[in-house]
Structure 1
Amino acid sequence: MTYDYPGLAKTAIDRLLKDQLKSVDAAADLVAAALLDDGVLQAFGTGHARLIVHELAGRAGGLIPVNLVRLQDVVFFGDRSPASILDPTLERDPGLAAEVLELAAPRPGDPWLIASNSGINGSVVELARLVREAGHPVIAVCSLAHSRTVPSRHPSGLRLPDLADLVIDNGAPPGDAALELPDGTRVGALSNLVGVVIVQLLTEGVARRMLAAGVTPPVYRSMNLPDGDRANAARLAAYGSRIRPIEP
């Protein structure tokens, strides 16, 4: 059998490197400056975009000063019951955003990376609005093609790109699935594939900027190597509760 997805994936990554590298560089400049000033990158996503922010946080080869922020935090770190977050459409509701932000407790100046393919759901837009209102810079990772062609689910009518200081476009088509089969069925989502490349570029870019500033980048060592736990514990101690475990 011949598969078309590898060609689509290569085209999507090539397009990212051609059209979005300036935005990635600008985001790396912003994040590196914040981390050099003792800041922490706050990373938020809902739905499948959570995979992108998971790729940023708590992983081997990733930057230590990244705090993973999720809707589930209202259960893990707040006082809500697990049943309160089981609705798969919860990301459409702006009501939890203020609670999520309060639990994240970012310091002034901490940048935020918010990932959402559509950029239209209420929780995403409301969190971006609150974060921007509080003076934090916002980096959005989304599909402009999708976001520009569907109505917002936030009462303001705003979308994530409207509230971002920097937008990195993942290039995914509306609906994300990029491969049409002979009967019209569409498969082959691109947003997470390209999103992972974006955050790995960002990680490399930030680390290189820190090195250029004479600072050893604070990076996780694999916990599955013999000295991983010891090395990570020493580096994490500098940030204390500002970085929460990805699996509490």
Structure 2
Amino acid sequence: MSQPALGAALFVDYARQAFERVVASNKDAVGAAARLFAECVAGDGVIHAFGTGHSQAAALEIAGRAGGFVPTSRIALADLVLRGGEEAAVLADPLLERSPGLAERLYALATPRPQDLFVVISNSGVNNSIVDLALTVTGAGHPLVALTSLEHTHAVPALHPSGRRLADLADVVLDNGAPTGDAVLPLPDGGALCGVSTLTSSLLVQMVVAEAVALLLAEGYEAPVYVSANIPGGHERNAVLEARYAGRLHRGGH
């Protein structure tokens, strides 16, 4: 029996093709998401990002990184402990992200204002905490951008009691193009190797930010963007910008 092809070069080739597919298929969605980002920032809003598991990587791409918007906040399950008073043991539950009833607490801990925007990230888009938060923020009138895999979400059953998925609730859906299960290189035992969603989701986030900044500048607004804190004067410059949003920027519990 022949062995499946593996190796770095094969994954790079797959990732390159995935990038091209994602760019082509999300052209309209990137523009629509960028418009929501720009309107939020221009209206003194904060962009809140939430993801669990490896989707936290895309939330980190949005909130608090060099080259990204200053008015951003990351929601994390750790907020329940670090700012919500729960015992640390609650985070040891491997199924915590699927538990019902978390969304309202996470939403309250984010201290959002009416003009704020939410970005919810989930490859499958079906876990309870993901759908609960999407329902909570849309019910409160906030715009919602979803970052998900449409192939994966439509290949698995909806877990939420409402029967809805993250993609069903969003104003804009960004499709990271990941296959069902995320990993892309088949293994001899029937498993697969190398997840691609982190790469394609990060690409989409940076595309949206780039387009949103272009919109803001073209329309005469300032674009409050972080510089690296590890260059001379970077920390001081960032602190001045952050001061405009005092008490509104949370970075996963901090």
**TM tier, shorter chain?**
over 0.9
The AA in structure 2 aligned to 1:185 is G
1:58-97 alignment to 2 at 5 Å? Answer: 58-97=64-103
The answer to whether residue 150 in structure 2 is matched with residue 141 in structure 1 is no
**Residues 152, 227 of structure 1: alpha-carbon distance in 2 compared, 3 angstrom cutoff:** same
Equivalent residue, structure 2, for 1:238: 244
Q: CA contact under 8 A between 2:44 and 2:115: conserved in structure 1? A: no
2:147 partner SS: strand
How much has 1:76 moved relative to structure 2? Answer: 1.3
2:184 partner SS: strand
- For 2:134 and 2:222, how far apart are their aligned partners in 1? 31
The AA in structure 2 aligned to 1:202 is V
- For 1:205 and 1:3, how far apart are their aligned partners in 2? 31
The answer to whether residue 187 in structure 2 is matched with residue 176 in structure 1 is no
Equivalent residue, structure 2, for 1:165: 171
The AA in structure 1 aligned to 2:39 is A
Ranges in structure 2 where 5+ consecutive residues have no aligned partner: 1-6
How much has 1:185 moved relative to structure 2? Answer: 2.9
Ranges in structure 1 where 5+ consecutive residues have no aligned partner: none
1:1-248 alignment to 2 at 5 Å? Answer: 3-246=9-252, 248=254
Q: TM-score with structure 1 length normalisation? A: 0.96
Q: TM-score with structure 2 length normalisation? A: 0.94
- For 2:250 and 2:95, how far apart are their aligned partners in 1? 25
Detail structure 1 runs of 4+ shifted over 6 Å in the superposition: none
**Percent identity over paired residues:** 44
1:105 partner SS: coil
**Residues 245, 183 of structure 1: alpha-carbon distance in 2 compared, 3 angstrom cutoff:** closer
Deviation per CA, 1:19-54, whole angstroms, max 9, x where unpaired? Answer: 111101100011101110111111111111001011
Superposition RMSD on alpha carbons, in Å? 1.3
1:95 partner SS: coil
Greater RCO (Cα-Cα under 8 Å, separation 6 or more): 2
- Larger displacement relative to structure 2 (175-184 or 4-13): 175-184
